[in-house]
Amino acid sequence: MVMVDCGTFEVPIKKYVQEKLAKKIDLLIVTHIDNDHIEGVKTMLNDPEIKVGRIIFNCYQRNAFGEKRRLNKYQMERLSNIEKEIGLIVGDIIENAEHDVDAPEAMKGLAATILGKPALKRVWDKDYTVSGNEIDMAEWGKITFLSPTMNEIDNLDKDFRHVMFDELNVDQTLGKWDKKEELYEILLRYAMLQAPVSDELREKDASGADELEERLTKAAKEPVDTDKISTANKASLAFVWEKGEHKMLFMGDANPDIVVKGLLEHYKGTAFPVLFDAIKVSHHGSHYNTTTELMRHADSAHYFFTGGLEGKRPSEEAIGRMALNAMPEGLTTRTLHFNYETTLVKELKENKALQEKYQFNVDTTKNEEEFAV
């Protein structure tokens, strides 16, 4: 069986892994380093009874580098100070989390969890996974990655190196040193703290069912500057999973521009949009991660939104581009699935007239275990 990310290892997920999957995951894909994608993974991997056959997680892949070195005393002190500064963002994570987050665990990276267990370390892929890579799943079909390209990996590495060389004054000729995977996550979080934060367009105040259509229509036409997507999210894994005529698109928090390029390459010669059995929406329905151009190339009868943040995600922009989009040939209806209800989601769910006009449904079933296609 395959697991993709896990923001929180809550009882329904734990029960499913233990009972339905018999405590065994054949392939674990972690799309990127953001806490809302790895916290549950860390909790799960600390259970010694759960076995994992293979881990794909782009962090710091050792195959690309050489000798080992240790950080000196000054560098370790500076790193300690950086960890304290990261505590600021951890505090924000805890304050805004939809579930309880343990502060010490939030400070600890997924790499440290994997490296601390020999059985997990052995099954962690040592090479970067990038666009075009494939995984043969035998009777379960094939996975093809659409994002990231090595360019996004390089940009992520630049953020890391900036902190490593400028903040810690590490010799730039240094190729590899002890616990670099752990340092990589810590320092990237620090780099994210230093980066300017772009304000996402917020939901407008709900002011009546009759105005929702107007708001969504206007929001769908808002221009999107995908350059504002964070470096970490641009480096997110995104992939298609295909078996026979069935296919699903998993977006992680990926940049839609990169995914479109991947779709054009993978489905070369195919009529667009490609119709998927299901699409996991990028970045919880952020304004920046679902574009009109993406909708021209990928569509589905089922969109899955995971998590969310009141007033920001899912956004009116993303929902407008999906729900109000003209139906392509081969598609008669869309269902938007949410496991977290914001004010906007509740308003959308209650507006039956809008749903009927644009032929979409809203499902807010929480912790649904199975979805049949």
Within a domain: 202: no
Rounded to whole angstroms, how far apart are CA atoms 141 and 154?
30
**Residue 324 predicted with pLDDT over 60:** yes
What's the whole-number average pLDDT of the chain? 84
Q: In this predicted model, what pLDDT tens digit does every residue of 52-88 receive, in sequence order?
A: 999 999 987 655 444 445 566 766 676 666 666 665 5
Q: How many residues does the chain have?
A: 373
Give yes or no: residues 251 and 141 share one domain: no
Considering the domain architecture, whether residues 10 and 46 belong to the same structural domain is answered as yes
* Residue 305: domain span: 209-363
Q: Of 145, 162, 194, at which residue does a domain stop? A: 194
Are both 227 and 133 inside the same structural domain? no
pLDDT of residue 177: 52
Q: Is the pLDDT of residue 311 over 60?
A: yes
Query: CA 25, CA 45: separation in Å to the nearest integer?
Result: 11
Is the domain of 215 the same as that of 143? no
Q: Are residues 35 and 58 in the same domain?
A: yes
Out of 194, 226, 246, pick the residue that ends a domain.
194
Residues 116 and 259 reside in one and the same domain:
no
The count of domains in the chain is 2
Answer yes or no: is 371 within a domain. no
8 and 84 fall within a common domain:
yes
With a cut of 50, say whether residue 212 has pLDDT above it. Answer: yes
Tens-digit pLDDT profile for residues 12-56 = 899 999 999 999 999 999 999 888 899 899 999 999 999 999 999
> What are the pLDDT digits (tens) for 259-307?
999 999 999 999 999 999 999 999 999 999 999 999 999 999 999 999 8
Residue 48 shares a structural domain with residue 178? yes
pLDDT above 90 covers a percentage of the chain that reads: 60
In the chain, % of residues over pLDDT 70: 76
Domain end position, chosen among 159, 194, 229:
194
Token look-up 């782009």 returns 58
Are 122 and 241 members of one domain? no
- Residue 246 in any domain: the answer is yes
157 and 277 in a single domain? The answer is: no
Question: What letter would DSSP give residue 165?
Answer: I
Same domain, 73 and 36: yes
Query: Which range, of 140-154, 301-315, 357-371, averages the lowest pLDDT?
Result: 357-371
Which DSSP string do the residues of 239-274 spell out, in sequence order? EEEEETTEEEEE-TT--HHHHHHHHHHHTTT--SSE
Closest CA to 296 of 332, 324, 334, 328: 328
Residue 145 has pLDDT above 50, yes or no: yes
Residues 146 and 250 placed together within one structural domain of the fold:
no
